[in-house]
């Protein structure tokens, strides 16, 4: 890198991934500045030692920055995090949808609000420890899956716009987790063997129901009835916020076959249950679609993920008006869930993605759901 070094702001969470990211960028000749976002409100019930939003994250990040010889700052994003991520999380459950807060945090905070701080510090890029590959070309950027299939996080970055991708760096995309930990050990970083968090950062114990009770208060829950697919009343429930598509726990007993949540009607606060066959979906729609290629360049067949842990399945994706798209699955899939992100791939390249909506396409066997019949 000739001439003046390009400055990059690295989001340091105190974990091994962002720590090695910081080292690699410095090694590549960038002028690196580390930043840790303080995102926990003072009353956050998840303010624990093992959380990336907890106080120990700042201490770990500061220690790594000192070890690597880079400046480190803390920026207070607690108000924005609550407004843009936590409130979104709660409101989605209240609307009978299942949210994906990590996508929203990346789009609106890490590669959104944080850019103001980066620009103020004279940075040209924002870097994170995501396992994804971003290729920068003269007139556009390409988002691809990370090399390590088990850790790939391109799904969580699908909603980034071209201007965000153009100033984003993800140097871990071509590496595996064991390689990253080995580098951290060679550098003598205390976080080299720090356990990865498998949870939503602000939800302790991954118990989102307890979090909602604390954040909203049970008096705010939408109570109602549990009904089968024929409209027969089975039992009362304590709130649609307690349910998600495909759920088995917390449902009435006495059925000759296992029952699953197959739909949630937020207008009537009804939870609809049925058999596993009632979860099968052949077609659905998404809104707020973010395309990474022009619509006339969308391949005829794509691999579509309906949730992060989904392996992907072949589908035809048809762009519609008002930033929507229709997805026709070549092989029907189980538990397509409103509120989750669906991301489209051509090989390892992200072509686009959107948010699954509740529509008539979400079917219960050959019968339309309550939501579709409204």
**How far apart (Å, rounded) are the C-alpha atoms in residues 138 and 363?**
44
According to the model, what pLDDT value does residue 56 have?
81
Q: Which tokens is 9 given? A: 């702001």
List the catalytic residues: 105, 201
What is the dihedral sign for C-alpha 107, 15, 341, 217?
Answer: negative
Instruction: Determine phi and psi for 228, rounding to 5 degrees.
Output: -85, 180
Q: What residue has token string 């009607």?
A: 265
**Cα within 13 Å of Cα(59), Cβ side:** 7
Q: What is the pTM of this model?
A: 0.91
Beta bridge partners of 283: 328
Query: Cα–chain-centroid distance for residue 317?
Result: 21
CATH class assigned to 7-205 = alpha beta
Out of 125-134, 165-174, 317-326, 365-374, least confident range: 365-374
Q: Does the pLDDT of residue 2 top 70, yes or no?
A: no
3-state secondary structure 269-338: CEEEEECHHHHEEEEEEEEEEEECCCHHHCCCCEEEECCCCCCCEEEEEEEECCCEEEEEEEEEEECCCC
Specify whether the CB–CB gap between 141 and 162 falls below 8 A. Answer: yes
Specify whether the CB–CB gap between 259 and 312 falls below 8 A. Answer: no
Between these two residues, 41 and 162, which has the higher pLDDT value? Answer: 162
pLDDT band at 10 (very low <50, low <70, confident <90, very high): very high
Specify whether the CB–CB gap between 337 and 356 falls below 8 A. Answer: yes
pLDDT digits (tens, 9 = 90+) for 335-371: 999 999 999 999 999 999 999 999 743 333 444 444 4
Percent residues over pLDDT 70 in the chain: 91
> What average pLDDT does the chain have?
90
DSSP state of 257: S
According to the model, what pLDDT value does residue 362 have?
38
Domain segments of the chain as ranges: 7-205, 221-277, 278-373
Strand, coil or helix: 54: coil
According to the model, what pLDDT value does residue 42 have?
55
- Going from the C-alpha of 110 to that of each of 12, 37, 168, 280, the distances in angstroms are 11, 9, 10, 35
Beta bridge partners of 260: 274
pLDDT band at 104 (very low <50, low <70, confident <90, very high): very high
pLDDT digits (tens, 9 = 90+) for 227-267: 999 999 999 999 999 999 999 998 988 788 899 999 999 99
* Count of residues making up the chain: 374
Q: What is the dihedral of CA 204, 210, 216, 220, to 10 degrees?
A: 160
According to the model, what pLDDT value does residue 53 have?
53
pLDDT digits (tens, 9 = 90+) for 44-98: 544 444 445 566 888 999 999 999 999 999 999 999 999 999 999 999 999 999 9
Specify whether the CB–CB gap between 326 and 344 falls below 8 A. Answer: no
Any idea which fold 278-373 has? Elongation Factor Tu (Ef-tu); domain 3 (2.40.30)
Q: Candidates 1.10.287, 3.40.1800, 2.30.30, 1.10.3210; correct CATH number of 221-277?
A: 2.30.30
């Amino acid at each position: 890198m000739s001439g003046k070094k390009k400055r990059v702001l690295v989001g340091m969470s105190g974990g091994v991934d962002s720590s090695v990211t910081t080292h690699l960028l410095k090694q590549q000749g960038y002028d690196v500045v580390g930043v840790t976002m303080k995102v926990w409100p003072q009353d956050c019930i998840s303010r624990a030692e093992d959380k990336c939003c907890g106080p120990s994250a700042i201490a770990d990040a500061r220690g790594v920055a000192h070890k690597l010889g880079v400046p480190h700052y803390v920026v207070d994003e607690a108000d924005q995090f609550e407004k843009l991520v936590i409130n979104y999380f709660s409101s989605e459950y209240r609307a009978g949808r299942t949210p994906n807060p990590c996508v929203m945090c990346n789009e609106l905070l890490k590669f959104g609000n944080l850019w103001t701080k980066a620009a103020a510090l004279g940075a040209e890029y924002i870097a994170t420890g995501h396992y994804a590959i971003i290729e920068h070309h003269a007139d556009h950027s390409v988002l691809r899956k990370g090399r390590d299939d088990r850790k790939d996080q391109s799904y969580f970055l699908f909603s980034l716009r071209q201007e965000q991708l153009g100033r984003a760096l993800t140097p871990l995309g071509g590496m595996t987790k064991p390689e990253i930990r080995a580098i951290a050990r060679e550098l003598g970083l205390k976080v080299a063997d720090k356990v990865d968090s498998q949870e939503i950062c602000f939800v302790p114990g991954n118990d989102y129901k307890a979090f909602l009770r604390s954040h909203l208060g049970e008096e705010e829950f939408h109570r109602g009835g549990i009904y089968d697919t024929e409209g027969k009343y089975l039992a009362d429930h304590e709130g649609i916020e307690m349910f998600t598509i495909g759920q088995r726990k917390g449902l009435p007993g006495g059925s000759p076959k296992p029952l699953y949540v197959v739909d949630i009607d937020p207008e009537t606060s009804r939870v609809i249950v049925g058999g596993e066959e009632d979860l099968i979906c052949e077609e659905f729609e998404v809104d707020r679609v973010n395309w990474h290629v022009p619509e006339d360049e969308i391949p005829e067949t794509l691999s579509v993920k309906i949730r992060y842990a989904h392996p992907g399945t072949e589908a035809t994706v048809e762009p519609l008006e008002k930033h929507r798209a229709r997805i026709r699955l070549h092989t029907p899939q189980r538990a397509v869930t409103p509120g989750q992100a669906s991301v489209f791939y051509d090989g390892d390249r992200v072509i686009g993605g959107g948010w699954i909506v509740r529509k008539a396409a979400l079917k219960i066997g050959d019968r339309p759901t309550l939501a579709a019949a409204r």
